[in-house]
Amino acid sequence: MESRRGSVWVIAEQIDCRILSVSLQLIGHARKLADELETSVEVILLGDKIEGQTQQLFAAGADRVYLGNAPHLSFYQPEIYTEIIVKLAKERQPEIILIGSTSMGRELAPLVAARLETGLTAHSIDLLLDENKILEQRVPAYGGLLSIICPKRRPQMATIARGVFPIPELDEKRTGEIVLLDVPGEIPRRIQTLEIIREEPEGVPLESTPIVVAGGAGASDLAGWRIIAALAEALNAALGSTRPAVDEGWAGLETMIGQSGKMVSPELYIGVGLSGELQHMVGIVRAQVMVAINNDPKSPVFEQVDYGIVDDCREFIPLFIEKIKEYQGKQVTC
């Protein structure tokens, strides 16, 4: 479907020729925005020998795929990727560009936005159109949700974390147009990705586990953090964190939950020594049951959870672990 309004673009991301789930999630949401704007969804896919992946993008809702296929595009290369996207955007004038809030997207989006002299909202947690069909990019701020708009410049750009939108139902019968990009050869550049070395994540993965224990600044020190980690281990849960726990070096960045971290949807979430700031809590909106352990009875976290335990986590958790071990293996009737 073509209209005078520019298209909704998604910059897809692939690693080893595998399309990342966040790209499919964004295409699904781009489809909804494009239908409302009566325009098309277009996806840029850059890599090497990736033509076989285009069908997935059409199945998720793309109408057109701009395909850049070349050996020197196999890894994300910031300067070449920026060059290709900026050139194409200047030619085609998209209305909106969406990029996953991944390591690649967090770097690529500002590079592209700066070259196109437009605005960019980082880590949006929702995207909708206002009555003037302008993109409302929602981010948590000032204790609530703030809508950011870019009314004058085009394209309107946002990065969005994995898990904010669901993967759409794939319609394998959908097809679309593939436009092969005339990819520039090597250009002078200051940064070059030579190799990607993958680190095996430690412990239980956050995204696919029924129980998440998340620790915050209330751990106070590394010894306190280890107590929270022991609770996660006793429950066979994944260990998540808030930003201060990452800043202190107790936890890795990949464990951070929230607006600039991961979105999780466990059956049980236990937040320990954290205050319930919106930037963290947006990451757990899909948790089924929420518990908080905090030594301050007035902490705002208690207004947001189903069950609250007011206690010093370093004193409470060892006793809790003892009880968990007592009950493990026993059938509990509620």
Ligand X SMILES: Cc1cc2nc3c(=O)[nH]c(=O)nc-3n(C[C@H](O)[C@H](O)[C@H](O)COP(=O)(O)OP(=O)(O)OC[C@H]3O[C@@H](n4cnc5c(N)ncnc54)[C@H](O)[C@@H]3O)c2cc1C
Task: Please give the residue ranges that form the binding site for ligand X (CB under 6 A).
Answer: 216-218, 220, 242-244, 256-261, 273-275, 277, 279-280, 293-296, 299, 312-314
Pick the closer one to ligand X by CB: 48 or 312: 312
Give the nearest distance from C-beta 219 to ligand X in angstroms: 8
144 membership: H or E segment, kind and range: strand 144-148
Closer residue to ligand X (CB): 296 or 303: 296
| Closest distance to ligand X from the beta carbon of 60 (Å) | 26
Helical (H) or strand (E) element with 100: strand 96-100
In the complex with ligand X, the residue whose CB is nearer, 168 or 261, is 261
Name the H helices within the chain: 21-37, 54-60, 78-92, 103-116, 222-234, 243-247, 278-281, 313-327
Q: How many helices (H) and strands (E) does the chain have?
A: 8, 17
Give the nearer residue to ligand X in terms of CB position, either 69 or 220: 220
Q: Which is nearer to ligand X, 54 or 241 (CB)?
A: 241
What's the first-to-final CA gap in the chain, in angstroms? 55
Residue whose token pair is 């701020």 = 141
Look at residues 41, 83, 99 and name the one whose alpha carbon lies nearest to residue 65.
Answer: 41
Q: With beta carbons less than 8 A apart as the criterion, state whether 25 and 164 touch.
A: yes
Q: How far is the CB of 227 from ligand X (least distance, A)?
A: 10
Whether cis (ω within 30° of 0) applies to the bond prior to 155 is yes
Closest residue to ligand X in the complex (CB): 216
Cα–Cα distances in Å, from 54 out to 12, 123, 248?
10, 26, 42
**Residue 22 and residue 161 in contact, taking contact as beta carbons nearer than 8 Å:** yes
Considering beta carbons, is residue 27 or 158 the nearer one to ligand X?
158
User: At closest approach, how far in Å is the CB of 53 from ligand X?
Assistant: 30
Q: How far is the CB of 113 from ligand X (least distance, A)?
A: 17
> Minimal distance in Å, beta carbon 146 to ligand X?
10
Q: Report how far apart, in Å, the C-alpha atoms of 111 and of each of 78, 85, 118, 121 are.
A: 8, 10, 11, 13
Closest CB 181 distance from ligand X, rounded Å: 34
Which residue, 55 or 295, is less far from ligand X as judged by CB? 295
